[in-house]
């Protein structure tokens, strides 16, 4: 028996030349927008109590002008000249106590102005700790809250979580 002989191998197609471009296209540049942390302010009421606010403008309140040191209007000394008809005589009165007479009622009882509480910015670390404390307070209260209050608490907690994530990295 004769052994078969294999045919000559078929020529292989030439390999393509390596391309000048890399196999993967470079990733598009990332655009990162850095937003400054939202500030929080500690405000002081006239009685000395404090509260926090997201606005630097404190709570407005209407105060009478006398609380700011404005007193009732005062007149200086005045002179009155009286002439009596028929006699040709007259008199001159000097009023020294003008504006301080007994019975003066004043005409500026409703005068006043708007005054805002004084506010100062808090350090960011303190803002983050205050937000975390408020979140824990909401979670404790949530357990005993009515369904209508739970919806409000859930919304407030969501807002606090978003702010903690953006401003504090928590």
Q: Which pLDDT belongs to residue 3?
A: 82
* Model confidence band, residue 67 (pLDDT cutoffs 50, 70, 90): confident
Please say if the pLDDT value at position 144 is more than 90.
no
Mean pLDDT value across the chain? 80
Secondary structure percentages of the chain, helix, strand, coil, to 5: 25, 20, 55
Please say if the pLDDT value at position 161 is more than 80.
yes
Mean pLDDT in residue range 94-121: 69
Of the chain, the end-to-end C-alpha distance in Å amounts to: 85
The model's pLDDT over 19-56, given as tens digits with 9 standing for 90+, comes to 666 567 788 888 887 788 889 999 999 889 999 999 88
């Amino acid at each position: 028996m004769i052994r078969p002989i294999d045919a000559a191998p078929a020529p292989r197609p030439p390999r393509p030349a390596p391309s000048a471009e890399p196999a993967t296209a470079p990733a598009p540049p990332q655009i990162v927008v850095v937003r400054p942390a939202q500030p929080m302010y500690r405000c002081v009421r006239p009685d000395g109590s404090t509260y926090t606010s997201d606005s630097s403008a404190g709570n407005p309140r209407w105060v009478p002008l006398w609380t700011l040191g404005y007193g009732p209007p005062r007149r200086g000394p005045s002179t009155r000249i009286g002439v009596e008809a028929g006699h040709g005589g007259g008199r001159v009165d000097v009023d020294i106590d003008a504006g301080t007479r007994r019975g003066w009622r004043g005409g500026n009882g409703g005068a006043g102005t708007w005054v805002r509480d004084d506010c100062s910015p808090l350090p960011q670390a303190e803002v983050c700790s205050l937000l975390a404390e408020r979140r824990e307070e909401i979670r404790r209260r949530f357990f005993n809250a009515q369904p209508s209050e739970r919806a409000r608490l859930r919304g407030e907690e969501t807002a606090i979580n978003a702010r903690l994530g953006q401003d504090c990295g928590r």
